């Protein structure tokens, strides 16, 4: 068929039966409606099954994990150090000191605080400040305390200390416990905040796109149902430890389902509107629209799901958890959008498009008119200029990727706001030994303990004082000796505990604490732990392993780099194979992958500039490139799938070059709208006060817009037009008409 046939005649008015497949889709739609409605309450319960402690991120194979497991054999109660810091600029008064002592008594009585591990009040020799130790019980008799319980205990401790504070006295939480809880608290109300923000953004954009006060409700309601259905599946899996859910995965899940769901809905509704111009029966119009849009939507969803599931191949638990959690979300989303949404739209009739109600007028062919029709025609006249100019621009943007800093963030650098624990930690660092409370932990052969301790003491960055490297204290013995009152005020604290209060060897191994001179989450502490491992690993017969908070952070960063280098190539190969199946070609998928990789590199280059010079972030997490890649490539390729599946459909009727022109013209508006919606929803991640999510939100939003506006609109169609029918090699289309 030639390009002269540009309109389609209305079907003759005759009675048509509803296809059996349509009844099946409608029945499935009812099922997904019931699942989504039933899952609504579970969306609010997901926070109850979150895990935001180290086990939610730390790889099980890491050295620090093995040490953490072994520590439980020496001390049945494991704690996270926490402090309450007091300061008065003019000096602490007698009343202040009396209050601090009284606060300590109340704090040690809090259920969840390890009173027997709490030291005396410590006064600073540098500043008019003091601190009370409030170690949080993180693991007891092998059972980990969940993040919500930790947050509740820390908040109760802080409330006690900050109640009726006299003028001039500053009271703030600090230490690993306070900072961890600040991180956990940042996810509180995550569903409400993100859903409201994402919903508001989507409503505004859909009102602009559809210019209808009604139609926006249908895709958004369907997306919320998909989120409920996903919650119904994820909740029991997380509750029974089949998968791990953390606050990061839950936040991304909400944004991803709303954004991707709206994208799928836009594509289906756009095709439905086209068919309504040709078919008097809205059921038949939807059947035709479904048959045209479902393959592209299904292929896009499959690409995202497979890309996400590749994350399960990594070591890091946060990667492994994000993959299945978000894959379940996308699976529920595509199911709802291809069953419930079409039935929902048909049920309410054409008026949902009011005031621009489509009628049977034979004007569904928009490939030859409108702004996108004119743009596609202009690009077809000068394709080489288009793809060369776009490629050069993307390469310029990509040149900035060398400036991306992925060395990791300290805990205090991880917030976009300044919670009390960050201010408290700054005060603690200025007034006290910043390495206090979070020693490196060494598990080694008991008969080589002296050699291990001697080697550790020589490592730069390890506390050189008499109590710097010691056999760990057995807090159960301390409790017995002090009758549960903890370390009494005035007790010796700058030397090792006496042998009667030290841990005993277990299975021929002993636990050693090595205090660091730098705060546990700094690069200096990391370097010390690396050097400490080198020093003790070389001791013959010691079989020494180094763990602790600093080692946990370091091992997590190393696992992030490992996962990035492993998963990115796998995702590329998998998506290439999916594209080859969908497009039934080899050359086109290869070119699409190359364009998306170029777009990803350009996004990283621009992100580096923005992070360093606009947002002034200290660094990016090592996991940032991997997460950005998975979302940008998996989601960015969606728009190319939407475009190229329609191009292939048009090519079968009009030839390759005309098919490219018509495919771009017909899909231009809807894909651009979809990209704007998805970008806007990812920007909403900035609602949460965490640098990592703010960086991810910006990168995905910018990258999606780059893919939508330049790669899909200019680079891919222009390059494909210039290549011509060979783009479909080795299929039969490669030998057809241009």
83-114 pLDDT, tens digit per residue, is 999 999 999 999 999 999 999 999 999 999 98
- 134 and 82 Cβ atoms separated by less than 8 Å: yes
Same domain, 415 and 468: no
Task: Look at residues 136, 156, 186 and tell me which one is the last residue of a structural domain.
Answer: 186
- Inside any domain, residue 475: yes
- For residue 729 the two structure tokens come to 């090699």
Radius of gyration of the chain (CA): 30
pLDDT above 90: percentage of residues in the chain: 39
Residue 190 scores a pLDDT above 70:
no
Q: Which of 161-170, 200-209, 481-490 has the highest mean predicted lDDT (pLDDT)? A: 161-170
Same domain, 461 and 379: no
Closest CA to 437 of 556, 535, 525: 525
- Inside any domain, residue 299: yes
Confidence band for 3, pLDDT divided at 50, 70 and 90 = very low
The whole-model pTM stands at 0.82
Q: Which residues pair with 14 in a beta bridge?
A: none
CA dihedral angle for residue 324, residue 327, residue 331, residue 333, rounded to 10 degrees? 120
- 245 and 57 Cβ atoms separated by less than 8 Å: no
Most distant CA pair in the chain: distance in Å? Answer: 98
Same domain, 157 and 255: no
| 433 Cβ contact partners less than 8 Å away, ≥ 6 residues apart | 463, 517
SS (H, E, C) 573-630: HHHHHHHHHHHCCCHHHHHHHHHHHHHHHHHHHHHHHHHHHCCCCCCCCCCHHHHHHH
Residue 365 scores a pLDDT above 60:
no
For residue 262, the SS3 value is: helix
CA-CA distances (angstroms) from residue 657 to 259, 365, 516, 619, 712?
32, 17, 67, 46, 16
Residue 644 scores a pLDDT above 50:
yes
pLDDT confidence of residue 441: 94
Residue 5 scores a pLDDT above 60:
no
- Inside any domain, residue 718: yes
Mean pLDDT value across residues 484-500:
62
Q: Give how far the C-alpha of residue 402 lies from the chain's centroid of Cα atoms, to the nearest Å.
A: 23
Q: Which residues pair with 83 in a beta bridge?
A: 133, 174
Residue 493 scores a pLDDT above 70:
no
Confidence band for 685, pLDDT divided at 50, 70 and 90 = confident
- 62 and 559 Cβ atoms separated by less than 8 Å: yes
- 653 and 166 Cβ atoms separated by less than 8 Å: no
Same domain, 284 and 352: yes
- Inside any domain, residue 552: no
CATH of the domain at 133: 3.30.70
| Stronger pLDDT, 589 or 197, i.e. the higher one | 589
- 543 and 296 Cβ atoms separated by less than 8 Å: no
Task: Look at residues 186, 206, 221 and tell me which one is the last residue of a structural domain.
Answer: 186
- What is the count of structural domains for the chain? 4
Query: What is the pLDDT of the chain when averaged over all its residues?
Result: 86
Q: DSSP per residue over 155-195, as a string? A: HHHHHHHHTTPPTT-EEEEEHHHHHHHHHHHTTTTHHHHHH
- Inside any domain, residue 225: yes
| 538 Cβ contact partners less than 8 Å away, ≥ 6 residues apart | 455
- Among 163-167, 318-322, 499-503, name the one with the lowest average pLDDT: 318-322
Same domain, 692 and 584: yes
pLDDT confidence of residue 61: 77
Same domain, 469 and 614: no
For residue 372, the SS3 value is: helix
Closest CA to 34 of 335, 325, 352: 335
Closest CA to 283 of 27, 13, 17, 7: 17
pLDDT confidence of residue 18: 63
CA-CA distances (angstroms) from residue 332 to 33, 307, 417?
11, 16, 34
Residue 419 scores a pLDDT above 50:
yes
Mean pLDDT value across residues 620-635:
85
CA dihedral angle for residue 13, residue 14, residue 19, residue 22, rounded to 10 degrees? 40
Residue 7 scores a pLDDT above 50:
no
Residue 464 scores a pLDDT above 60:
yes
Judged by phi (left if over 0) then psi (alpha if -120 to 50, else beta), residue 168 lies in: left
φ, ψ (nearest 5 deg) of residue 137? -70, 115
Same domain, 375 and 499: no
* Strands ordered across the beta sheet of 469-471: 469-471, 509-514, 440-445, 545-547
Mean pLDDT value across residues 350-361:
85
Bridge-based pairing state of the strands 143-144 and 136-140: antiparallel
Same domain, 722 and 612: yes
* Strands ordered across the beta sheet of 136-140: 77-80, 136-140, 143-144
Mean pLDDT value across residues 159-179:
92
Q: How far is the first Cα of the chain from the last one, in angstroms, to the nearest whole number?
A: 12
For residue 77, the SS3 value is: strand
Same domain, 622 and 676: yes
pLDDT confidence of residue 9: 46
- 324 and 309 Cβ atoms separated by less than 8 Å: yes
Q: Report, in this order, helix, strand and coil percent for the chain, each rounded to 5.
A: 65, 10, 25
pLDDT confidence of residue 6: 41
Closest CA to 104 of 563, 486, 452: 486
Q: List, for residues 107-159, the tens digit of each pLDDT value.
A: 999 999 988 888 789 999 899 999 999 999 988 877 778 777 888 999 999 99
pLDDT confidence of residue 508: 94
Q: List, for residues 203-248, the tens digit of each pLDDT value.
A: 888 888 888 898 999 999 999 999 999 999 999 998 888 888 877 7
- Inside any domain, residue 281: yes
CA dihedral angle for residue 189, residue 191, residue 193, residue 196, rounded to 10 degrees? -150
pLDDT confidence of residue 169: 95
Closest CA to 454 of 536, 524, 528: 536
Same domain, 407 and 469: no
Q: List, for residues 247-293, the tens digit of each pLDDT value.
A: 778 888 888 898 889 889 988 998 898 889 888 888 999 999 999 88
Mean pLDDT value across residues 10-39:
76
The domain in which residue 507 lies consists of 439-547
Task: Look at residues 364, 384, 402 and tell me which one is the last residue of a structural domain.
Answer: 364
Closest CA to 589 of 729, 467, 492, 448: 729
Distance CA(155)–CA(149), nearest Å, equals 10
- Inside any domain, residue 15: no
Same domain, 444 and 389: no
CATH of the domain at 402: 1.20.1640.10
Distance CA(658)–CA(330), nearest Å, equals 34
- 305 and 327 Cβ atoms separated by less than 8 Å: yes
φ, ψ (nearest 5 deg) of residue 11? -65, 145
φ, ψ (nearest 5 deg) of residue 215? -65, -30
- For residue 526 the two structure tokens come to 């990391």
- 467 and 558 Cβ atoms separated by less than 8 Å: no
pLDDT confidence of residue 489: 43
pLDDT confidence of residue 223: 92
Residue 582 scores a pLDDT above 90:
no
Closest CA to 555 of 55, 50, 51, 79: 55
φ, ψ (nearest 5 deg) of residue 634? -65, -45
pLDDT confidence of residue 8: 44
- Inside any domain, residue 720: yes
Same domain, 592 and 573: yes
């Amino acid at each position: 068929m030639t390009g002269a046939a540009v309109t389609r005649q209305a079907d003759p008015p005759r009675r048509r039966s509803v296809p059996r497949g349509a009844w099946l889709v409608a029945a499935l739609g009812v099922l997904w409606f019931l699942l989504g409605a039933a899952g609504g309450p579970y969306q609010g319960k997901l926070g109850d099954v979150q895990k935001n402690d180290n086990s939610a991120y730390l790889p099980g194979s890491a050295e620090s994990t093995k040490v953490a497991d072994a520590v439980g054999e020496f001390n049945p109660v494991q704690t996270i150090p926490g402090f309450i810091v007091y300061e008065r600029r003019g000096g602490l008064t007698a009343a202040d000191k009396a209050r601090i002592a009284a606060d300590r008594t109340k704090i040690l009585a809090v259920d969840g605080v390890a009173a027997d591990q709490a030291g005396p009040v410590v006064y600073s020799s540098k500043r008019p400040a003091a601190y009370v130790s409030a170690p949080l019980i993180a693991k007891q008799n092998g059972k980990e305390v969940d993040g919500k319980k930790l947050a509740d205990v820390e908040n109760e401790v802080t409330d006690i200390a900050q109640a009726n504070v006299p003028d001039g006295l500053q009271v703030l939480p600090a230490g690993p416990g306070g900072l961890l809880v600040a991180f956990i608290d940042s996810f509180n109300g995550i569903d409400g905040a993100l859903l409201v923000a994402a919903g508001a953004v989507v409503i505004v954009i859909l009102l602009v796109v559809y210019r209808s006060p009604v139609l926006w409700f249908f895709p958004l309601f369907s997306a919320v149902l998909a989120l409920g259905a996903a919650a119904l599946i994820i909740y029991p899996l997380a509750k029974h430890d089949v998968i791990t859910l953390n606050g990061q995965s839950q936040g991304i899940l909400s944004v991803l389902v709303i954004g991707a769901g709206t994208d799928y809905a836009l594509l289906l509704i756009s095709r439905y509107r086209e068919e309504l111009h040709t078919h008097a029966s809205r059921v038949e119009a939807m059947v035709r629209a479904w048959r045209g849009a479902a393959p592209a939507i299904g292929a896009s969803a499959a690409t995202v799901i497979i890309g996400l599931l590749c994350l399960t191949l990594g070591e890091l638990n946060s990667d492994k958890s994000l993959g299945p959690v978000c894959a379940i979300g996308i699976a529920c989303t595509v199911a709802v959008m291809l069953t419930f949404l079409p039935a929902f739209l048909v049920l309410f009739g054409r008026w949902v498009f009011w005031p621009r109600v489509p009628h049977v007028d034979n004007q569904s062919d928009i490939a030859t008119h409108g702004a996108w029709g004119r743009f596609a025609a202009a690009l077809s006249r000068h394709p080489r200029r288009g793809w060369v100019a776009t490629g050069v621009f993307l390469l310029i943007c990509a040149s900035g990727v060398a400036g991306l800093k992925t060395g990791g963030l300290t805990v205090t650098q991880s917030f976009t706001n300044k919670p009390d624990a960050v201010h408290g930690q700054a005060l603690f660092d200025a007034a006290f030994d910043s390495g206090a409370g979070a020693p490196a932990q060494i598990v080694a052969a008991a008969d080589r303990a002296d050699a291990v301790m001697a080697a550790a003491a020589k490592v730069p960055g390890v506390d050189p004082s008499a109590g710097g490297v010691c056999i760990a204290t057995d807090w159960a013995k301390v409790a017995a000796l002090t009758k549960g009152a903890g370390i009494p005020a005035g007790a010796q604290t700058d030397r090792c505990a006496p042998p009667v209060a030290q841990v005993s060897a277990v299975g021929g191994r002993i636990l050693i604490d090595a205090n660091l001179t730098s705060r546990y989450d700094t690069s200096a502490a990391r370097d010390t732990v690396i050097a400490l491992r080198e020093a003790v690993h070389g001791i013959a017969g010691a079989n020494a392993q180094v763990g602790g908070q600093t080692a946990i952070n370091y091992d997590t960063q190393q696992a992030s780099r490992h996962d990035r280098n492993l998963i990115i190539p796998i995702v590329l190969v998998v998506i290439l194979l999916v594209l080859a199946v969908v497009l039934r070609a080899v050359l086109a998928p290869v070119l699409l992958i190359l364009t998306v990789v170029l777009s990803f590199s350009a996004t990283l280059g621009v992100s580096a500039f923005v992070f360093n010079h606009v947002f002034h972030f200290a660094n990016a997490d090592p996991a940032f490139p991997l997460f950005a890649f998975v979302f940008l490539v998996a989601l960015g390729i969606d728009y190319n799938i939407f475009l190229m599946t329609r191009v292939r459909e048009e090519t079968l009727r009009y030839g390759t070059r005309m098919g490219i022109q018509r495919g771009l013209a017909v899909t231009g508006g809807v894909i651009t709208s979809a990209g704007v919606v998805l970008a806007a929803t990812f920007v909403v991640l900035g609602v949460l006060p965490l640098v990592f999510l703010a960086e991810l939100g910006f990168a995905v939003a910018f990258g999606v817009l780059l893919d939508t506006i330049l790669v899909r609109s200019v680079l891919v169609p222009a390059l494909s037009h210039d290549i011509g029918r060979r783009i479909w090699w080795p299929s039969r289309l490669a030998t057809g008409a241009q």
